[in-house]
């Protein structure tokens, strides 16, 4: 560790007392000594990877010390000081880095890829930038709850080039969210210097484009960081708004230890070594008699003793035990027993459609059932927030939320900028503060812009460190309306491949409402697919008030004995029409839920009819029909009297012109396959 005889940093003590100065010194010293220990252990092969924050401790420690203990922080790789300042036990940190059970992820993730809501910390994922939108969500919750709290999120200089950075800042600015974005500009994104990353003179200048207040701080000056963040936080607690803070610092070691620093000019390393935040602050405190050499040695000795004891205790812990049942069970948060079903498949005798709550029913169109479900959920959950493009006063492009602003207010029914990724992240951030959230993808096709947040944040957060993603994403989907390649895709199979998500796809108005209400009762992320062509073309009796249709349970849409059609969504209606036209006594299973799948329903129908055809609007290759065909072939082969057949859309993008769309969709191919299977 460096030692300075005189400070190269100009400190301004202001009104800070010696107790605060010593606390900040100890706060920086602790992560530095832990890191020095970890670098030794890395060389010994006792830990697998390390991202060093040596030389950057002033930023993490200063910013964290400036906040209140219950204010949420979103750190990154080089922010060990956040965890130590928040007094996260060393033994748990060390267990995390060793993959032990006493860590925060039970060995399921490494380094700082975890959160601890007990300490109001939410860690990063490897994709740079998504944590910023989560901070937006926490800040929005603070604002809606009038809590007078701030959120603070870190980013590196490299991460400021990511779309997530810009989306998060834009949303925060538009909504005046009390969030501090701290950019640690340490000179390099891995080996790429800043002059190859951006052209603005300072990263803080980017705040201008968002109408956002911004500051440039000396990232190695602990007093400047602490004082500035304290002042900013105090101000935006009273006057909510986002603030961008650029901290100029330097990365004294490689991006991670294996990459080294050979690409960094030696002179530059020497210049920044002279600005070491701990050595300089130590010299400052010595010069003023606040510290003595004896006290420094005594403090270092005590911290090293604590580190060694915690490490030895961690080493003594057994390696994490792989228990298959636990791994599978922890993918999803447990669902409350409240989620009762309206419809279920009875297993005694012949499967038949049954109903749960015997409430009064009203004739509703598919679209009105969804709107009714949303309104019921909003009335039931006071901390449910709806977000989406044009869903406010305009009522959404399909008018599903028409009138909601008048009933629930702009705070809970929020128009969003075109920032799909940021809004998905904001939804998760709201959840971290105990809110529920729904995001409407204006069209399911636009989900690609929020894909990373869904796949890597929503889907994995419970399995990784036990947090819930209580988020519903509505997905208006499907063709038949001549909307072309970017407003008609069936993309449900993208998500059925992702453990941690739930995917539902109702075919009837009653199920549309019941499954939507079930999604809001479920603490897991649910993608709710709703076929646009059914919105105003289909009506049926729908129970009034609150009820749920159980996620993961199929229904028999038509009883029959000749063969089984297994389908969902619009496929149910195609199948009902065509089997009647063809005079085939087919049983039609409406899956309703695509993840999880009701395999018991598939077993029952195949064993009953001994023939099966899979129908879906999605393209053939990689569609759900392939997976279910494989399941039937593997588990029900001895019950089959014919090959399992499939009918799906063409393996092309969905076209615009009506004649092209008609041959793209699987309707007539299903008719041919149905005849073939019936005659086999």
List the catalytic residues. Answer: 487
Cβ(404)–Cβ(395) below 8 Å: yes
Long-range CB pairs of 303-307 (<8 Å, 24+ gap) are 303/29, 303/30, 303/33, 304/33, 304/37, 306/90, 307/33, 307/34, 307/37, 307/90
Provide the strand spans (E) within 319-440.
361-365, 384-388, 413-415, 436-440
DSSP string, 465-516: HS----EEEEEEE--SSS--TTTS---THHHHTSTT-EEE---SHHHHHHHH
Token representation of residue 278: 């701990």
In terms of Cα–Cα distance, which of 95, 81, 98 is closest to 182? 81
Query: Quick count: other Cβ atoms within 10 Å of Cβ 85?
Result: 28
Which of 345, 342, 346 is closest to 355 using CA atoms? 342
Helices (H), ranges, 398-487: 404-408, 420-432, 451-452, 461-465
Q: What is the DSSP letter of 455?
A: I
| Residue found under tokens 């580190």 | 307
- Among 88, 92, 59, 89, which residue's Cα sits nearest to residue 76? 59
Cα 646 from Cα 18, distance rounded (Å): 76
Under 8 Å between Cβ of 499 and 597: no
* DSSP codes joined into one string, 568-593: -THHHHHHHHHHHHHT--EEEEE--E
Rounded Cα gap, residues 559 and 346, in angstroms? 13
Return the C-alpha torsion angle 133, 378, 393, 211, nearest 10.
Answer: -20
The pair of three-digit structure tokens given for residue 607, joined into one six-digit string: 């064993």
Contact 665, 658 (CB under 8 A): no
What span, in angstroms and rounded, lies between the C-alpha atoms of 588 and 576? 7
Q: Which residue has the tokens 């895709």?
A: 489
């Amino acid at each position: 560790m460096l030692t300075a005889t005189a400070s190269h940093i100009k400190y301004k003590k202001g009104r800070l007392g010696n107790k605060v100065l010593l606390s900040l010194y100890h706060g920086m010293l602790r992560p530095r000594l832990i890191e020095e220990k970890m670098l030794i252990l890395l060389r010994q092969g006792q830990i697998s990877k390390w991202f060093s924050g040596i030389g950057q401790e002033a930023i993490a420690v200063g910013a964290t010390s400036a906040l209140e203990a219950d204010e949420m922080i979103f750190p990154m790789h080089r922010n060990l000081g956040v965890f130590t300042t928040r007094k996260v036990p060393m033994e748990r940190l060390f267990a995390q880095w060793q993959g032990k059970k006493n860590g925060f992820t039970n060995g399921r993730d490494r380094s700082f890829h975890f959160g601890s809501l007990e300490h109001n910390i939410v860690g990063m994922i490897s994709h740079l930038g998504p944590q910023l939108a989560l901070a937006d969500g926490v800040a929005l919750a603070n604002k809606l709850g009038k809590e007078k709290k701030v959120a603070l999120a870190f980013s590196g200089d490299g991460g400021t080039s990511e779309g997530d950075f810009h989306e998060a800042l834009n949303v925060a600015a538009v909504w005046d969210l009390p969030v501090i974005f701290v950019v640690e500009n340490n000179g390099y994104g891995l080996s790429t210097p800043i002059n190859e990353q951006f052209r603005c003179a300072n990263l803080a200048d980017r705040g201008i484009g968002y109408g956002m207040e911004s500051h440039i701080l000396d990232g190695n000056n602990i007093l400047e960081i602490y004082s500035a963040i304290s002042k900013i936080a105090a101000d935006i607690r009273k006057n909510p708004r986002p603030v961008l803070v650029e901290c100029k610092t330097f990365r004294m070691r490689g991006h991670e230890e294996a990459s080294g620093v050979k690409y960094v000019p030696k002179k530059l390393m020497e210049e920044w070594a002279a600005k070491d935040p701990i050595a300089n602050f130590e010299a400052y405190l010595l010069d003023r008699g606040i510290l003595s050499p004896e006290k420094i040695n005594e403090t270092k000795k005590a911290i090293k003793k604590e580190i060694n004891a915690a490490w030895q205790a961690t080493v003594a812990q057994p390696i994490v035990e792989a228990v298959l049942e636990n791994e599978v069970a922890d993918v999803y948060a447990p669902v409350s027993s409240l989620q009762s079903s309206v419809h279920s498949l009875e297993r005694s005798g012949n499967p038949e459609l049954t109903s749960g709550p015997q409430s009064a029913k009203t004739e509703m169109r598919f679209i009105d059932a969804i709107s009714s479900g949303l309104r019921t959920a909003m009335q039931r959950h006071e901390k449910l927030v709806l977000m989406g493009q044009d869903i406010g006063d305009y009522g959404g492009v399909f008018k599903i939320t028409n009138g909601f602003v008048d009933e629930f207010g702009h705070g809970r029914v929020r128009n969003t900028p075109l920032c799909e990724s940021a809004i998905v992240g904001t939804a998760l951030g709201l959840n971290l503060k105990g809110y529920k959230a729904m995001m409407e993808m204006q069209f399911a096709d636009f989900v690609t812009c929020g894909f990373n947040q869904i796949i890597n944040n929503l889907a994995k957060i419970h399995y990784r460190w036990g947090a819930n993603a209580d988020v519903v994403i509505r997905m208006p989907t499907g063709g038949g309306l001549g909307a072309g390649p970017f407003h008609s895709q069936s993309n449900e199979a993208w998500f059925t491949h992702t453990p941690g998500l739930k995917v539902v796809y109702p075919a009837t108005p009653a199920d549309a409402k019941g499954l939507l209400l079930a999604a809001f009762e479920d603490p897991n992320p649910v993608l709710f697919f709703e076929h646009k062509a059914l919105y105003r073309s289909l009506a049926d009796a729908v129970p009034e008030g609150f009820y749920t249709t159980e996620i993961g349970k199929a229904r028999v849409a038509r009883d029959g004995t000749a063969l089984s059609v297994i389908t969902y969504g619009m496929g149910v209606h195609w199948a009902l029409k065509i089997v009647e036209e063809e005079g085939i006594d087919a049983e039609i299973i409406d899956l309703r839920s695509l993840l999880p799948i009701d395999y018991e329903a598939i077993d029952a129908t195949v064993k009953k009819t001994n023939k099966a055809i899979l129908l879906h609007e999605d393209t053939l290759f990689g569609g759900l029909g392939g997976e279910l065909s494989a399941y039937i072939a593997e588990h029900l082969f001895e019950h089959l009297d014919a090959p399992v057949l499939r009918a799906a859309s063409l393996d092309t993008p969905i076209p615009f012109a009506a004649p092209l769309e008609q041959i793209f969709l699987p309707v007539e191919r299903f008719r041919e396959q149905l005849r073939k299977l019936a005659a086999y």
